[in-house]
Amino acid sequence: MAGLCPAAFSGTASPVTSSLRPIVPPVNAAAALAAPSRATWAFDAVIFDMDGVITDTAAVHSAAWKHMFDEFLRARERDHGEPLREFTHAQDYLRYVDGKPRLQGIAAFLAARDVHLPTGAADDPPSAETIHGLGRRKNELFHALVEAEGVRVYASSIALVGKLWRAGIQVGLATSSKNAALILGKAGVRELFATVVDGLVAEQLQLPGKPHPDIFAAACARLGSSAARAIVIEDAGIQQFVFGVAL
């Protein structure tokens, strides 16, 4: 897995390794009695994003995207004489693929580079020069990184989730990722979320991805909360944050 270096894209937060397993929120009577009344809160539910909020996987995603796109762009330079401009975190990952469903992110980046590929089919192999093929290749690279390095979580986010549980606030997670089960399982934090609406659920329900608010609204509904009584915690830019307020 030479060339993949997620540390190069890490943010300023301080994640901890998944071996430092967070404490599962207490559900005993004493803890419940010590918790503030829900009536003292202006909200009933909190929906967390996953990558970059609960887990430090945004850096891993960025590294996998860079590896996949740089290989593709080098092949275009070799076979079509196109000048090589490498994929970068600041100019490309954050602008075109961060937080979006995988295929939408690929299409957005390729359009920005004036590269046109057929969509292909969901069963395209990773070697196929289609949007689905590139998506399959990126996902393989991401899985390899997760298997090799594990998943780190943000200690402050896990601590907040515990406080919310103890206060009687419903906690859910919504993400465009189709790898949520793998990531949350590797990190040992799946049980912290009463519901998870991920890319697979969104696909089954035919929900549009970010920046549309539908996955967050679906998580609210699954928790039995109205959107007006929910908070979204998301690490996207201000253009995407607006939908969290609009819920």
Q: Report CA 201 to chain centroid distance, whole Å.
A: 14
CB count, 10 Å around CB of 238? 6
Strand order in the sheet with 170-174: 195-197, 170-174, 45-48, 230-233
Rounded CA separation 134/119 (Å): 10
Catalytic residue among 44, 49, 92, 198: 49
CB count, 10 Å around CB of 109? 21
Give kind and range of the element (H or E) at residue 197: strand 195-197
Task: Using the CB atoms, write b or e for 121-131: b if 16+ within 10 Å.
Answer: eeebeeebebb
Check: CB of residue 174 under 8 Å from CB of residue 197. Answer: yes
Per DSSP, the three-state class of 201 is helix
Rounded CA separation 191/102 (Å): 26
Catalytic residue among 51, 92, 124, 198: 51
Active site residue 49: yes
Active site residue 92: no
3-state secondary structure 121-180: CCCCCCCCCCHHHHHHHHHHHHHHHHHHHCCEEEHHHHHHHHHHHHCCCEEEEECCCCCH
Residues labelled catalytic: 49, 51
